Amino acid sequence: MEVTAVRGEIGAGRHFWQPVSPDRPGDPQALKEVEMTAAMQMPRVEECVVASCAYNHTGDCHAFAITIGSPDHAHCHTFVQLPVRAGVAELTAQVGACQRADCRHNEQLECHAPAIRVGPDNDLADCITYAER
Ligand code: SF4
């Protein structure tokens, strides 16, 4: 059975991928896949100015997902300086997890900001969308 996906816009920079199966309309399993896909939407990294990171191509991040957080600041733990071009060129990174429970965008260690920006702050690569509660 062939299943493809279409991009659905939620607004405020958020989107989800909706599975579409032309040969199984009304299939409860297909509906479950749609719900799971929508639940997995994550904030995207709309800008990253850390050019020395292997995942940074042209002011944007191409990791599949990044992790933010340290005990004392909103560090990007995916930041890595290696002599390779990493990530997937066709993808824009999303925030997979965030340990900064004190950020007003954070709920249960997940980021709910519409999108984030990464750049120098306390460290070379930090979430600069962080906002203290
Ligand atoms: S905006 Fe806040 S919750 Fe979202 S990644 Fe940055 S520090 Fe974490």
| Series of mean pLDDT values for 10-residue runs along the chain (133 residues) | 56 57 64 54 95 96 96 97 95 96 97 97 97 96
- CA–centroid distance, residue 9 to ligand 1 (Å): 21
Residues 22 and 34 in one domain: yes
103 CA → ligand 1 middle, Å: 6
9 & 54 share domain? no
Picking from 79, 72, 17, the residue whose alpha carbon sits closest to that of residue 45 is 79
pLDDT in the model for residue 107: 96
Please give the model's pTM, rounded to 2 decimal places: 0.73
Domain that holds residue 34: 4-39
Give the H/E segment covering residue 111: strand 110-111
Residue of minimum CA distance from atom 4 in ligand 1: 111
Q: How many domains does the structure of the chain reveal?
A: 2
